Every structure is written in structure tokens, then in C-alpha cells.
């Protein structure tokens, strides 16, 4: 018997819920639904879905409250799908542990790709102790060799510094997910580092000069303006 990944859709708009169900079931997912925050949290704790698609504007509470509550005990993938487009809302959700943030309206292919990536990422973290990354990340001409601590572009060593390598390997570990500036700074320079995007921008500019043919039109590391950075999905 084929075991399907179960997706919980938390959305109060009936027509949007039906759209999600049609698309997801057509792509072989088991779909369950909730239209309030209280119902959603009850289903998360009882059903343990593989992915949660979470709208923020729920009738009984803000979806951010659900995100905070779940992150106190679980790392299950949570993809926020919201009509809120302000950078502040994206940063808050991502900093609180959302795996992704998609703004409405969105494309079906994009949604399905984000779901696949969220599932792939959480399962990859189970493969090594404490989520340690080993092996090879490969996308197009870029290779991150986690065992050798090297990044190669079209077979040639990119000659990254230690901090530059740590930045690229961190993005590779969360491939396809936008990492906020604050998260990256604390991961690379420590929790006591003042949130100063300037040092991060300087390092990223140096990295792009080494790995991108045209830094102004990157193929590998993308900027989510006002939010953070994202590396391309692996092959």
C-alpha cells in the first residue's frame, strides 16, 4: 500500500480550502483541513501531519500564535501562505520558525515545489546526528563538499574564506528556504553579535564574485529584499 504524505491545510476561506484539496490530492497527498486556529492546533497534535500549510488571518487567532506554539515542541514543516505581503510579516514568520512564506496569489507549481522542499529538508536532517551535514550538495555547476569544507564551481575550487564557506554551507543546509538576515548573523557570528546587515552584505558580495558568472544576475544565491537570502534547490 502506498503511504501518502499528509498535509494539514489551515485556511478559513472555503473556496481556497477546496482549491488546496483539489491540487494536493491530484498530486498524491493525503489532505486534512482546519478552518480555525483551535481546530488546527488540535489536529497538529493528534494527526502529526508531514506538512502544515498555514494561513495567518484566522477567525479566532493569528496564525503566528500557532507557529509559536508548535515550535516549542516540534520541527514539523510549516509553510505560511498569506495575503500579508509586508516584509515585516515575512521576517517575523521566518524568524519564529516557518520553513517558508508564500504570498497570495501563488502558482500551483511553486506551491508544490515548496512542499517537496520542506519535506526533503526535514527528512535530510534526520540522516546525521544533530542535523550535521555531510556529503555533497550539487546544483548545476556548484558543488558544496561538506566533508572537505570546499565549494567548487564548474569543477574549480571557489577559494572561499572560512566565513564565506560557513555562509554558503548554512544556506545549503536549508536549500530552498529563505534565511533571514538575523538568523544567518546569529548562526555565523554568534548570538551576541549585533544585528548588522553590513558585514553580511560584504561577505555575500565577496561570495558572489567568486561563485557567480554575473553577480548582478545570480544563479545560485538569491536575495529576498529586506528579508534574507536563499540558495537554489539541489539537483
Strand positions, DSSP E, the chain: 6-10, 30-34, 51-54, 78-82, 100-103, 136-139, 142-145, 150-153, 156-157, 179-180, 221-224, 228-231
Instruction: Write down the pLDDT at residue 76.
Output: 83
Distance CA 1, CA 124 (A): 24
Instruction: Write down the pLDDT at residue 1.
Output: 41
Q: Rounding to the nearest 10 degrees, give the CA dihedral for residues 170, 173, 174, 175.
A: 110
Alpha carbon 165 to its chain's center: 20
Query: How many distinct helices (H) and strands (E) make up the chain?
Result: 8, 12
Instruction: Write down the pLDDT at residue 105.
Output: 85
CB neighbours of 115 closer than 8 A, spacing ≥ 6? Answer: 7, 29, 51, 53, 79
Going residue by residue through the chain (235 aa), what tens digit of pLDDT does each one get? Answer: 456 788 999 999 999 999 999 999 999 999 999 999 999 998 888 777 889 999 999 999 999 999 999 888 777 889 999 988 888 999 999 999 999 999 988 899 999 999 998 887 766 654 444 444 567 889 999 999 988 889 999 999 998 887 788 899 999 988 888 899 988 888 777 666 666 688 888 889 999 999 999 988 999 999 988 899 999 988 8
Instruction: Write down the pLDDT at residue 130.
Output: 41
Amino acid at each position: 500500500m502506498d503511504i501518502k504524505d499528509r498535509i494539514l491545510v489551515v485556511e478559513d476561506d472555503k473556496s481556497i480550502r477546496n482549491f488546496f484539496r483539489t491540487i494536493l490530492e491530484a498530486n498524491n497527498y493525503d489532505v486534512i483541513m482546519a478552518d480555525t486556529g483551535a481546530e488546527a492546533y488540535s489536529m497538529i497534535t493528534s494527526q502529526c501531519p508531514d506538512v502544515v500549510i498555514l494561513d495567518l488571518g484566522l477567525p479566532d487567532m493569528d496564525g503566528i500564535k500557532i507557529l509559536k506554539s508548535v515550535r516549542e515542541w516540534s520541527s514539523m514543516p510549516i509553510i505560511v501562505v498569506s495575503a500579508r505581503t509586508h516584509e515585516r510579516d515575512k521576517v517575523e514568520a521566518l524568524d519564529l520558525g516557518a520553513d517558508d512564506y508564500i504570498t497570495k496569489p501563488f502558482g500551483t507549481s511553486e506551491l508544490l515545489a515548496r512542499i517537496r522542499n520542506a519535506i526533503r529538508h526535514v527528512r535530510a536532517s534526520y540522516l546525521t546526528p544533530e542535523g550535521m551535514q555531510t556529503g555533497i550538495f550539487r546544483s548545476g555547476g556548484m558543488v558544496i563538499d561538506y566533508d572537505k569544507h570546499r565549494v567548487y564551481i564548474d569543477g574549480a575550487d571557489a577559494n572561499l574564506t572560512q566565513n564565506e564557506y560557513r555562509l554558503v554551507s548554512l544556506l545549503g543546509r536549508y536549500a530552498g528556504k529563505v534565511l533571514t538576515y538575523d538568523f544567518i548573523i546569529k548562526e555565523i557570528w554568534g548570538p551576541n553579535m549585533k544585528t548588522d546587515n553590513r558585514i553580511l552584505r560584504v561577505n555575500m558580495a565577496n561570495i558572489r564574485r567568486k561563485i557567480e558568472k554575473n553577480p548582478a544576475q545570480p544563479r545560485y544565491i538569491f536575495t529576498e529584499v529586506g528579508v534574507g537570502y536563499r540558495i537554489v534547490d539541489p539537483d
